[in-house]
Structure 1
Amino acid sequence: MRAVTPFLMFQGQAAPALALYLTLPGARLLHRQDTPGGRVQMAELELSGQRLRVTDSPVPHAFTFTPSTSLFLDCDTREEFDRVCGALGAGGEYLMPADDYGFSVRFAWLNDPHGVSWQVNLPA
Protein backbone atom coordinates (compact mmCIF):
# COMPACT_ATOMS: atom_id res chain seq x y z
CA MET A 1 0.00 0.00 0.00
CA ARG A 2 1.42 3.40 -0.94
CA ALA A 3 -0.66 5.95 0.94
CA VAL A 4 -4.05 6.82 2.36
CA THR A 5 -5.33 10.04 0.80
CA PRO A 6 -8.53 11.83 1.85
CA PHE A 7 -10.83 12.19 -1.17
CA LEU A 8 -13.40 14.99 -1.24
CA MET A 9 -16.24 14.54 -3.74
CA PHE A 10 -18.31 17.62 -4.51
CA GLN A 11 -21.31 18.21 -6.74
CA GLY A 12 -20.19 21.24 -8.74
CA GLN A 13 -18.40 23.03 -5.87
CA ALA A 14 -14.90 21.56 -6.22
CA ALA A 15 -13.40 24.64 -7.94
CA PRO A 16 -14.49 27.16 -5.28
CA ALA A 17 -13.55 24.70 -2.52
CA LEU A 18 -10.06 24.33 -4.03
CA ALA A 19 -9.73 28.11 -4.28
CA LEU A 20 -10.60 28.38 -0.57
CA TYR A 21 -8.24 25.60 0.54
CA LEU A 22 -5.36 27.11 -1.44
CA THR A 23 -5.59 30.27 0.70
CA LEU A 24 -4.63 28.25 3.80
CA PRO A 25 -1.05 28.30 5.12
CA GLY A 26 1.05 25.49 3.71
CA ALA A 27 -1.33 24.75 0.80
CA ARG A 28 -0.26 24.15 -2.78
CA LEU A 29 -1.91 22.72 -5.86
CA LEU A 30 -0.15 19.60 -7.17
CA HIS A 31 -2.41 18.74 -10.10
CA ARG A 32 -5.72 19.78 -11.60
CA GLN A 33 -7.62 18.43 -14.57
CA ASP A 34 -10.98 19.89 -15.56
CA THR A 35 -13.74 18.43 -17.70
CA PRO A 36 -14.64 20.13 -21.00
CA GLY A 37 -17.62 21.60 -19.10
CA GLY A 38 -15.34 23.30 -16.57
CA ARG A 39 -15.92 21.01 -13.60
CA VAL A 40 -13.00 19.58 -11.66
CA GLN A 41 -12.40 16.06 -12.95
CA MET A 42 -9.53 15.46 -10.52
CA ALA A 43 -7.30 17.70 -8.46
CA GLU A 44 -4.72 17.05 -5.82
CA LEU A 45 -3.47 19.57 -3.31
CA GLU A 46 -1.10 19.41 -0.43
CA LEU A 47 -2.02 21.00 2.87
CA SER A 48 0.81 21.06 5.42
CA GLY A 49 2.28 17.88 3.96
CA GLN A 50 -1.04 15.98 3.67
CA ARG A 51 -2.30 15.26 0.18
CA LEU A 52 -6.01 15.69 -0.53
CA ARG A 53 -7.83 14.68 -3.70
CA VAL A 54 -10.79 16.70 -4.90
CA THR A 55 -13.34 16.03 -7.62
CA ASP A 56 -16.78 17.02 -8.86
CA SER A 57 -18.90 13.89 -9.07
CA PRO A 58 -19.95 13.17 -12.64
CA VAL A 59 -23.01 11.38 -11.24
CA PRO A 60 -25.63 13.17 -9.09
CA HIS A 61 -26.08 11.56 -5.69
CA ALA A 62 -28.24 12.07 -2.60
CA PHE A 63 -25.39 12.18 -0.05
CA THR A 64 -22.94 14.86 0.96
CA PHE A 65 -20.34 15.51 3.65
CA THR A 66 -20.99 14.85 7.33
CA PRO A 67 -19.12 16.04 10.46
CA SER A 68 -18.58 12.40 11.46
CA THR A 69 -15.54 12.61 9.17
CA SER A 70 -13.44 15.74 9.44
CA LEU A 71 -10.02 17.11 8.59
CA PHE A 72 -7.99 17.92 11.71
CA LEU A 73 -5.52 20.81 11.49
CA ASP A 74 -2.94 21.63 14.15
CA CYS A 75 -1.83 25.26 13.92
CA ASP A 76 1.51 26.66 15.10
CA THR A 77 0.41 30.12 16.27
CA ARG A 78 -2.70 31.99 17.37
CA GLU A 79 -2.43 34.15 14.24
CA GLU A 80 -2.41 31.05 12.02
CA PHE A 81 -5.35 29.57 13.98
CA ASP A 82 -7.36 32.79 13.52
CA ARG A 83 -6.49 32.98 9.81
CA VAL A 84 -7.52 29.37 9.16
CA CYS A 85 -10.77 29.68 11.12
CA GLY A 86 -11.54 32.97 9.41
CA ALA A 87 -11.01 31.52 5.95
CA LEU A 88 -12.84 28.22 6.48
CA GLY A 89 -15.58 29.65 8.68
CA ALA A 90 -16.59 32.51 6.36
CA GLY A 91 -19.94 31.41 4.95
CA GLY A 92 -19.76 28.14 6.86
CA GLU A 93 -21.18 26.92 10.13
CA TYR A 94 -19.44 26.54 13.49
CA LEU A 95 -20.20 23.32 15.34
CA MET A 96 -17.92 24.39 18.21
CA PRO A 97 -16.90 28.07 18.11
CA ALA A 98 -13.26 28.96 18.69
CA ASP A 99 -12.57 28.70 22.42
CA ASP A 100 -10.47 27.05 25.11
CA TYR A 101 -12.26 23.77 25.83
CA GLY A 102 -9.59 22.57 28.24
CA PHE A 103 -7.82 20.09 25.94
CA SER A 104 -5.81 22.67 23.96
CA VAL A 105 -5.10 26.39 23.97
CA ARG A 106 -7.75 27.03 21.31
CA PHE A 107 -10.04 24.77 19.29
CA ALA A 108 -12.83 25.17 16.73
CA TRP A 109 -14.92 22.67 14.79
CA LEU A 110 -16.67 23.97 11.70
CA ASN A 111 -18.20 23.10 8.39
CA ASP A 112 -16.77 25.22 5.58
CA PRO A 113 -19.15 26.81 3.03
CA HIS A 114 -18.88 23.66 0.89
CA GLY A 115 -19.90 21.29 3.70
CA VAL A 116 -16.48 19.84 4.57
CA SER A 117 -15.95 19.50 8.32
CA TRP A 118 -12.71 20.80 9.88
CA GLN A 119 -11.33 20.62 13.41
CA VAL A 120 -8.83 23.44 13.91
CA ASN A 121 -6.56 23.14 16.91
CA LEU A 122 -3.90 25.24 18.62
CA PRO A 123 -2.12 22.72 20.87
CA ALA A 124 -0.68 23.68 24.24
Structure 2
Amino acid sequence: MAIAIQPYLTFNGYCEEAFNFYKSVFGGDFAHISRFGEMPPQEGISFPESFAKKIMHVALPVSGQFMLFGSDAGGDCSPEAVVGNNISLSLQIGSKEEGDKIFDALSAGGTITMPMEVTFWNAYFGMFTDKFGINWMVNVDLNS
Protein backbone atom coordinates (compact mmCIF):
# COMPACT_ATOMS: atom_id res chain seq x y z
CA MET A 1 0.00 0.00 0.00
CA ALA A 2 1.59 3.26 -1.17
CA ILE A 3 0.13 6.37 0.43
CA ALA A 4 1.55 9.88 0.25
CA ILE A 5 0.57 12.35 3.00
CA GLN A 6 0.73 16.04 2.04
CA PRO A 7 -0.21 19.14 4.08
CA TYR A 8 -3.17 21.11 2.67
CA LEU A 9 -3.31 24.75 3.77
CA THR A 10 -6.52 26.82 3.65
CA PHE A 11 -6.62 30.62 3.52
CA ASN A 12 -9.30 33.31 3.72
CA GLY A 13 -8.69 34.87 0.33
CA TYR A 14 -4.89 35.20 0.32
CA CYS A 15 -3.81 31.74 -0.86
CA GLU A 16 -2.19 33.14 -4.02
CA GLU A 17 -0.13 35.65 -2.02
CA ALA A 18 0.92 32.96 0.46
CA PHE A 19 1.89 30.46 -2.23
CA ASN A 20 3.85 33.04 -4.21
CA PHE A 21 5.77 33.66 -0.98
CA TYR A 22 6.34 29.90 -0.44
CA LYS A 23 7.47 29.61 -4.08
CA SER A 24 10.00 32.40 -3.50
CA VAL A 25 11.36 30.48 -0.51
CA PHE A 26 11.39 26.93 -1.94
CA GLY A 27 11.87 27.78 -5.63
CA GLY A 28 10.37 25.89 -8.53
CA ASP A 29 7.03 26.37 -10.24
CA PHE A 30 3.47 25.42 -9.40
CA ALA A 31 2.61 21.91 -10.57
CA HIS A 32 -1.04 22.96 -10.71
CA ILE A 33 -3.13 26.06 -10.06
CA SER A 34 -6.88 26.44 -10.62
CA ARG A 35 -9.42 29.06 -9.65
CA PHE A 36 -13.01 28.79 -8.46
CA GLY A 37 -14.20 30.54 -11.62
CA GLU A 38 -12.89 27.57 -13.66
CA MET A 39 -15.09 25.13 -11.73
CA PRO A 40 -18.08 23.82 -13.71
CA PRO A 41 -21.47 24.54 -12.10
CA GLN A 42 -22.16 22.20 -9.19
CA GLU A 43 -25.61 21.71 -7.69
CA GLY A 44 -25.79 23.24 -4.20
CA ILE A 45 -22.45 25.04 -4.49
CA SER A 46 -22.20 28.78 -5.01
CA PHE A 47 -19.81 31.59 -4.21
CA PRO A 48 -19.74 35.35 -4.78
CA GLU A 49 -18.62 36.52 -8.24
CA SER A 50 -15.63 38.23 -6.60
CA PHE A 51 -14.50 34.78 -5.45
CA ALA A 52 -14.05 33.50 -9.04
CA LYS A 53 -10.37 34.55 -9.12
CA LYS A 54 -9.56 32.96 -5.75
CA ILE A 55 -7.56 29.74 -5.63
CA MET A 56 -9.52 26.48 -5.69
CA HIS A 57 -6.36 24.34 -5.66
CA VAL A 58 -2.64 24.95 -5.95
CA ALA A 59 0.23 22.46 -5.75
CA LEU A 60 3.84 23.45 -5.14
CA PRO A 61 6.52 20.74 -5.35
CA VAL A 62 8.97 21.31 -2.51
CA SER A 63 11.33 18.33 -2.77
CA GLY A 64 11.19 14.84 -4.22
CA GLN A 65 7.80 13.36 -3.34
CA PHE A 66 6.73 16.28 -1.12
CA MET A 67 4.03 18.70 -2.31
CA LEU A 68 2.49 21.65 -0.51
CA PHE A 69 -1.21 22.04 -1.39
CA GLY A 70 -3.50 25.00 -0.76
CA SER A 71 -6.79 26.76 -1.47
CA ASP A 72 -8.92 29.70 -0.45
CA ALA A 73 -11.97 29.11 1.74
CA GLY A 74 -15.42 30.58 1.30
CA GLY A 75 -18.75 30.09 -0.39
CA ASP A 76 -20.77 26.89 -0.08
CA CYS A 77 -17.89 24.58 -0.95
CA SER A 78 -15.54 25.53 1.89
CA PRO A 79 -16.29 27.22 5.21
CA GLU A 80 -14.16 30.12 6.38
CA ALA A 81 -10.70 29.08 7.50
CA VAL A 82 -9.98 29.48 11.20
CA VAL A 83 -6.36 29.69 12.32
CA GLY A 84 -5.57 26.41 14.05
CA ASN A 85 -8.10 24.55 11.91
CA ASN A 86 -6.83 25.63 8.50
CA ILE A 87 -4.55 22.66 7.82
CA SER A 88 -5.67 19.26 6.55
CA LEU A 89 -3.71 16.13 5.82
CA SER A 90 -4.24 15.05 2.22
CA LEU A 91 -3.80 11.36 1.49
CA GLN A 92 -2.91 10.41 -2.10
CA ILE A 93 -4.02 6.80 -2.51
CA GLY A 94 -3.61 4.44 -5.47
CA SER A 95 -7.05 2.76 -5.72
CA LYS A 96 -10.72 3.43 -4.99
CA GLU A 97 -10.89 0.30 -2.81
CA GLU A 98 -7.95 1.41 -0.66
CA GLY A 99 -9.36 4.96 -0.59
CA ASP A 100 -12.70 3.69 0.75
CA LYS A 101 -10.96 1.49 3.33
CA ILE A 102 -8.80 4.36 4.67
CA PHE A 103 -11.67 6.89 4.51
CA ASP A 104 -14.06 4.60 6.41
CA ALA A 105 -11.51 3.68 9.07
CA LEU A 106 -10.19 7.21 9.74
CA SER A 107 -13.63 8.89 9.64
CA ALA A 108 -15.23 6.46 12.12
CA GLY A 109 -16.62 8.53 15.00
CA GLY A 110 -15.81 11.77 13.17
CA THR A 111 -17.72 14.15 10.90
CA ILE A 112 -17.83 13.55 7.14
CA THR A 113 -17.87 16.86 5.25
CA MET A 114 -17.77 15.31 1.75
CA PRO A 115 -18.33 11.60 1.16
CA MET A 116 -16.08 9.77 -1.28
CA GLU A 117 -17.28 10.53 -4.81
CA VAL A 118 -15.98 11.04 -8.32
CA THR A 119 -15.25 14.74 -8.89
CA PHE A 120 -15.13 17.03 -11.90
CA TRP A 121 -11.30 16.98 -11.72
CA ASN A 122 -11.43 13.20 -12.31
CA ALA A 123 -10.53 12.04 -8.85
CA TYR A 124 -12.30 9.89 -6.28
CA PHE A 125 -12.26 12.28 -3.33
CA GLY A 126 -13.70 12.84 0.14
CA MET A 127 -13.13 14.95 3.26
CA PHE A 128 -13.80 14.55 6.98
CA THR A 129 -12.74 15.60 10.45
CA ASP A 130 -11.73 12.63 12.57
CA LYS A 131 -12.90 12.02 16.13
CA PHE A 132 -9.82 13.88 17.40
CA GLY A 133 -10.56 17.06 15.42
CA ILE A 134 -7.98 16.49 12.64
CA ASN A 135 -9.05 17.40 9.08
CA TRP A 136 -8.36 14.82 6.37
CA MET A 137 -8.74 14.62 2.58
CA VAL A 138 -8.60 11.33 0.68
CA ASN A 139 -7.76 11.54 -3.02
CA VAL A 140 -7.50 8.80 -5.65
CA ASP A 141 -6.34 10.17 -9.02
CA LEU A 142 -8.45 8.54 -11.73
CA ASN A 143 -6.22 9.89 -14.52
CA SER A 144 -3.53 7.27 -14.02
The structure carrying a bigger helix percent of its residues is 2
- How high is the TM-score relative to the length of structure 2? 0.39
